Every structure is written in C-alpha cells, then in structure tokens.
Chain A
C-alpha cells in the first residue's frame, strides 16, 4: 500500500480512479487489510510471537489457535501477523532501493547519448543472472541479514527498472519542452529531475508494484532455502521452511503462510495491472 500512496499525494485522483476498476479495487482492499494487520500486529495478535508452549505443540487449527500451533507450540496466526511486517517491509525496501539504482542508471543511459552503450551493456550483463541465483550469491557474499537481503534483491531488480526509465527518458529527451528548458539555460540536473524524472513516474510506479510482488516471492524463496533472513525471525518464507519438516503431521504450519504469500502477491499484481491500464494505455492490453 505504501508503494502506491507516495505518488498519490501528487495526483490525488489516481486512487479514486483505480478503485473504479473492480479487480484493482479488490487488490487495494486486500492490501489495506494486510498492511493494517501487519502494523497492528502487537495489538491484534492473540498471543506473543515467541510464546513457547510445549503442551500445545503441533495443535491443529481450533478456536484457541485459529491457524494451529507450530513445533514449539507457538501460535501460527500470531507469527503470521509478525511475519507480515518483515515480508512487507523487505519487499517495500527492495522497491525503494532498486528504484534508486534503476533511476540513476536509467536516466544516465537514456539522457546522455555517450553513456548509453556502456550502461546498457552493464544492464544486459546484470540481467543475465537468474534473479534468485544472483540474490543467493550476493547474500552469500554479503552475509545473511535482512538488510543484505534487501541490498541483494535491490541489485537484482534494479536493471528492470533501469530499462523502463531509460525507455521513457529516450522519448522525453526529444520533446520540445526539454529542448526549451535547455535553450533557456536550465542546468542539466534540474532538467533531469524536474522535467524527465517527473514524467517517468508512471511506468516506474507500475513496474515498482510488480517488483514489490516479485520481491516478496524472492524473499520467501531465500528464507525457505535458509540462505536469507535468519530462521529465528518470522517471515512467511521461514515459516514454510519450518512447516516443511512437519508436513506429514502438521500441514497447517506451511499452509497458512503460503496462502498469505499467494493472497498478497495476487493483490499486488491486481493493483499493478490496474495501474498499468490507467497510467500506460499503450501497454494496457492485458499482458
């Protein structure tokens, strides 16, 4: 949600236009609920996230524990609410971090003709690495902490944003108002920020929403493999990894966090699709 609320202040009618589309409205509504649940986790969670209870180990879903308990008797619903905080913040931080790198690379290659070829080849080379694989290697090199997971995934997704920014910049660079600004002697950095960057926000917003979705899936994958965020910190991915060991006796441990990932990612995709239809009519063919 926070992903789309930033530019909304600039253009207050995007959200109202977005929710006139039924599928996007569902996406927005579900995301609002998930984000609120994550923020309010300490207030609404029925138990403490680390409360162990050997007596209630591996209890199936019941009225006491709506989603059951895990191998240490901890309440699954409670841990899922806290996990949402980590998973969503990591996803959102990845969007911000990759946007910053993507904007810098995209603007320089799109605006300065001499830099285009070298930066574009660098982007091509970075895109040659499969996302999870590059992220695993980077986390292995940097160390497995939440911050490094964000850095790794940010680097992984930055080239995609760079391509989007570059493509828009190439078009905008040739427009009369940029030429006019240049003729008036407006310094290049000002042109870049005020005239170019402002006009690439729409495609950036659309792409950023999809990267949010991808980052949540990727973080879950890394945590599941044990090469991401430490297993002590609840994320949806680490919860599935725990659940895997007890799959035969206690399927609910991995079932509910997995469903949380599906619902969150699906909502983000619905919102992303809606935004694209709204902001980028050229692409609005249901790709």
Chain B
C-alpha cells in the first residue's frame, strides 16, 4: 500500500516536472521576439529590452529556465503585462466563477448520466436504451458554445428567465450569482453528460451478467438492490475514471463557455490574455490548470487504492 502510494507520488512528480518544462517551451517557441510582438512596431529598442527582462526572456536559455523554475517553486508566476497585477492574484480573483461553473456542470452531467446509463444497461435494447444512446451521441456532437448561444437566445432573450451574461455586480448575492451560472452550467453539463452516460452503460453491462449478480437475484433480493448495490458498486471504477476525465474536459469547455456567457472566470482571462499576448498570464494559467489536473489524477489513483483492494501500482 505504502509502496503503491510512493510509486505514484514519484510518477506524479516526474509528470509535474515535464508539465513545467512544456509550458516553458510553449512560451519560447514564439517565432521572433515576444517582447517586440507585444509592444508593436513603434517600440524602441530600450522598451523591448526592458520588457524582455520583465518577461524573463533575457540571458541564456538555461539561465531563463533556472530563474523560471526558481520563481515557480516560490509561487511567483510573474506579473501580468496588461492587468498590472501578479498573475497569481489575477488567477485567484477569477477562480470562483470557473470553480462553480465546473462543479455545477459536473453535478448536472453526473445527475443525468448515472441514472440514464444504469437504466439503459438494465433495459438493454429497449426503446429507452436506444433513445438514450442516440441522444447521448447527439449531445457529444454539439459544440458547447453553440448550445450556449441557443440557450441565451431562448431562455434569456425570449423567455427572460435568466440574465444573458456576466456574473452579477461586485458583492452580488449568491442567489444572483447562481442565476448567472444556471445557463452556462446547463450548456456545459448537458454536452458532458454524454461521455459519462456511455461509460456508465458500458460498465454496467459488463457487470450485470456476472455470477454474483445472478447469485444476489437468486437469493430473492429486490431488483433495485441487485442493480444498485451489487452491480453498480462493481461498475464504479471506470465510472470514477470517466468522471475525473470529464472534470478535466470541463475546464476546456469552460474556456469557451465563459466567453459566450461573459463570465469573468479563468477561461475568459486566458482568452483575453491570448488576444492581448499577455504571456505571463497564459503561462500561469497553463501551469495552474495542468498542475491541478495532475493532482486530480493522483487523487483518483488514490481513490482506486481505497475502493479496490486489488489495485497496486
């Protein structure tokens, strides 16, 4: 057990190091001089040199890398060029909408996917199963930003049920915030439910024919106890995996969805940083999000260890 945890921990640290290196490389593959690109054609050589040093682009590539790793290790992600504040502050300020959007979308996706997936597998080949499978495939084909636009048009503009965009003013109540989150979370959650539904169905199909399910039935156990207690519990591992994976996909979806709904989250921060070539912000956001993903994966691996005694790393 301890050995498995240590093995995984070591693997995670290696991956984390590679993530940090990849981000370093991405910012430096820019053709030409990023500082010159950011400042435009009218900049003087002195301005460019100043910005280069601010961006950490002066000195040899090894020096740059050393400084970069040293700063990150201290939690210093640099200064945003356009916001005039540290990248960590900018990210922290915009973390809340992204966090709630992702959590609500995941909740919506899971609440739809688990019952539909279980019932689909249980009634395999029925009209319900066919309809559910078709709808799931359809949902996976819809661009979430387009669905978001349709939602805005229908629920916000036509019916006037929700606010069309933003996150309420500063100091708005949580209910007001929630009002702004319903549509984006729904758009993102519906699209993401497809993957979890399909995996739940497949995983349940796998276990529903197993011996212990038949045994449970022959003991005269009620159907729903057989399905939920005996079958579902054993189908959980792939389902946990795919829910974790979906959480990561949601962050990607959030980038686009936040922009559609004007939510001031990390996603829209990154998009505006890209449009303004604010490299420190792009770099910081990549590091934080990929780092979180690696940590979540590690947590999922640990969860396996806890859920399934056969798992060893």
A141 near B26: Cβ-Cβ < 8 Å? yes
Interface membership of B285, Cβ < 8 A:
yes
**Among B26, B205, B289, which residue has its beta carbon within 8 angstroms of that of A286?**
B205
What's the interface size class on A, roughly? 35 or more
Contact with A along B278-293 (1 / 0, CB 8 A): 0000100110011101
- Stretch among B54-62, B76-84, B196-204, B219-227 lining the A interface: B196-204
Distance of A43 from chain B, by nearest CB (Å): 28
B146 near A240: Cβ-Cβ < 8 Å? yes
Distance of A246 from chain B, by nearest CB (Å): 11
Interface membership of A173, Cβ < 8 A:
no
Interface membership of A86, Cβ < 8 A:
no
Distance of B244 from chain A, by nearest CB (Å): 12
Among B31, B153, B252, find the residue whose CB has the most chain A CB atoms closer than 10 A: B252
A131 near B275: Cβ-Cβ < 8 Å? no
Interface membership of A63, Cβ < 8 A:
no
B286 near A226: Cβ-Cβ < 8 Å? no
Query: Which residues on A sit within 8 Å (CB–CB) of B29?
Result: 141-142
Query: Which residues on A sit within 8 Å (CB–CB) of B271?
Result: 136, 225, 227
B18 near A130: Cβ-Cβ < 8 Å? no
**Among B27, B145, B150, B205, which residue has its beta carbon within 8 angstroms of that of A285?**
B205
Interface membership of A278, Cβ < 8 A:
no
Query: Which residues on B sit within 8 Å (CB–CB) of A139?
Result: 274
Interface membership of A251, Cβ < 8 A:
yes
Distance of B55 from chain A, by nearest CB (Å): 13
Interface membership of B152, Cβ < 8 A:
yes
**Among B31, B142, B248, which residue has its beta carbon within 8 angstroms of that of A142?**
B31
* Majority DSSP secondary structure for residues of B touching A: helix
Q: How far is the CA of A244 from the CA of B14 in the complex (A)?
A: 43
A247 near B137: Cβ-Cβ < 8 Å? no
Q: How far is the CA of A132 from the CA of B11 in the complex (A)?
A: 25
> Which residues of A does B touch, CB under 8 Å?
121-122, 124-126, 128-134, 136-143, 213, 217, 220-221, 224-227, 240, 243-244, 247-248, 251, 254, 258, 261-263, 265-266, 269-270, 273, 285-287
Q: Given known contacts A136-B255, A262-B142, what 15 new A-B pairs fall within 8 Å (CB)?
A: A124-B18, A128-B19, A129-B289, A129-B290, A130-B252, A133-B285, A142-B30, A227-B271, A240-B146, A247-B149, A258-B149, A258-B150, A262-B141, A266-B138, A286-B198
12 contacts between A and B (CB under 8 A): A125-B290, A128-B19, A130-B293, A140-B274, A226-B275, A240-B143, A247-B149, A269-B137, A273-B137, A286-B201, A286-B205, A287-B198
